[in-house]
Structure 1
Amino acid sequence: MLSTWLEDRQIPLYLIALLAGAGFGLLAPTPAAGLEIAITPVLRLLLYATFLSIPLTRLGQVVYEGRFLAGLVVLNFVIVPVVVFALSRFVADHPALSLGVLFVLLTPCIDYVIVFSGLAGAAHERLLAAAPLLMLGQMLLLPVYLGLFVGPELVDVIDIGPFVEAFGLLIVVPLVLAAATQFLAARARLAQRVMRSFETLMVPLVMLTLAVVVASQIDAVRIELDQLLRVIPLYVLFLMVMIPLGVLTGRVFTQDTATTRATVFSGATRNSLVVLPLALALPDSLALVAVVVVTQTLVELIGMVIYVRLIPRIIPDRATVR
Structure 2
Amino acid sequence: MDSNQPERWQIPAAMAALGLGGGFAALAPEPAETLEPVVWPVLALLLYATFCQIRWRDLRPAADGIRFLKALALSQAVFVPLLVAVLTLPLPGSPTLKLAILLVLLAPCTDWFVTFTHLGGGSTQQATVATPVLLAGQLVLLPLWLLLLAGPTAVEAIAVDRFLVVFAGLIALPLGLALILEMGTRRWRPLQRVAHISRQSMTPFLLLLLFMLTASHVPQLAGTGSVLMGVALLYIAYLLAVPALGVVVGQRLQLSPVATRTLIFSLAARNSFVVLPFALTLPEPALAAGVIVLQSLVEVAGLILYTRLVPALVPLQASTPSNSG
Query: TM-score, normalization: structure 1?
Result: 0.94
- C-alpha contact 1:162 1:278 (8 A) present in aligned 2: no
- Retained in 1: the 8 A contact 2:71–2:249? yes
- Residue 86 of structure 1 corresponds to 86
Q: Does the 8 Å CA contact 2:157/2:279 hold for their aligned counterparts? A: no
**What runs of 5+ residues in structure 2 fail to find an aligned partner?**
none
> Alpha-carbon deviations, 1:173-210, whole Å to 9, x = none?
00000000010111222321111112222211110111
The structure with the largest helix share of the pair is 1
Counterparts of 1:25 and 1:51 in 2: how far apart (Å)? 31
Q: Is the 8 A contact 1:59 1:129 kept in 2?
A: no
CA distance in 2, matches of 1:71, 1:125: 16
Name the residue aligned to 1:101.
Answer: 101
State the distance in 2 between where 1:203 and 1:278 align.
30
What is the aligned partner in structure 2 of residue 301 from structure 1?
300
Q: CA deviation at 1:259?
A: 0.5
Unaligned runs of 5+ in 1: none
CA 137–58 in structure 1, closer or farther in 2 if over 3 Å, else same: farther
Aligned to 2:31: 31
**Inter-partner Cα distance in structure 2 for 1:103 and 1:39:** 21
Identity of aligned residues (%): 39
Any idea what SS the aligned residue of 1:254 has? Answer: coil
Q: Give the whole-Å Cα distance in 1 for the aligned partners of 2:7 and 2:184.
A: 27
Contact 2:269 2:299 in 1 (8 A): yes
1:157–1:197 Cα change, 3 Å: closer
1:15 pairs with 2:15: yes
Write the distance in 2 (CA, Å) between the matches of 1:272 and 1:141: 17
Q: Distance in 1 between matches of 2:297 and 2:191?
A: 35
The offset of 1:90, in angstroms, is 2.2
Letter matched to residue 207 of structure 2: M
Match of 2:313 in 1: 314
The farther-off stretch of 196-205 and 115-124 is 196-205
In the other structure, the counterpart of 2:67 is: 67
Q: Which moved more, 1:223-232 or 1:69-78?
A: 223-232
CA contact (8 A) 2:111 2:171 kept: yes
- AA aligned to 2:69 is L
Structure 2 CA distance for partners of 1:60 and 1:167, relative to 1, 3 Å:
farther
> Quick check: 1:206 aligned with 2:217?
no
For residue 271 of structure 1, what is the aligned residue in structure 2? 271
Alpha-carbon separation, structure 1, partners of 2:225 and 2:60: 45
- In the TM superposition, residue 64 of structure 1 has moved relative to its aligned partner by 8.3
Quick one: which amino acid aligns to residue 127 of structure 2?
L
Q: Structure 2 vs 1, CA of residues 300 and 157 (structure 1 numbering), >3 Å: closer, same or farther?
A: closer
**How many residues end up aligned between the 2 structures?**
318
Aligned to 2:187, the other structure's residue is in SS state: coil
Judge which range, 121-130 or 156-165, deviates more.
156-165
Determine the C-alpha separation between the residues in 1 that align with 2:157 and 2:47.
Answer: 30
Structure 1 distance, partners of 2:189, 2:59, is: 25
Counterpart for residue 166 of structure 2: 166
- The 3-state SS of whatever aligns with 2:35 is helix
For residues 307 and 222 of structure 2, the distance between their equivalents in structure 1, rounded to whole angstroms, comes to: 27
- Partners of 2:217 and 2:293 within 8 A in 1: yes
CA RMSD, 1 decimal: 1.9
Cα pair 1:7 1:203 within 8 Å, conserved:
no
2:96 and 2:282 in contact (8 A); partners too: no
| Deviations 1:156-176 (CA, angstroms, capped at 9, x unpaired) | 343222111110000000000
Note the C-alpha offset of 1:55: 2.4
Deviations 1:190-239 (A, max 9, x none): 32111111222221111011111111001112331111112000000000
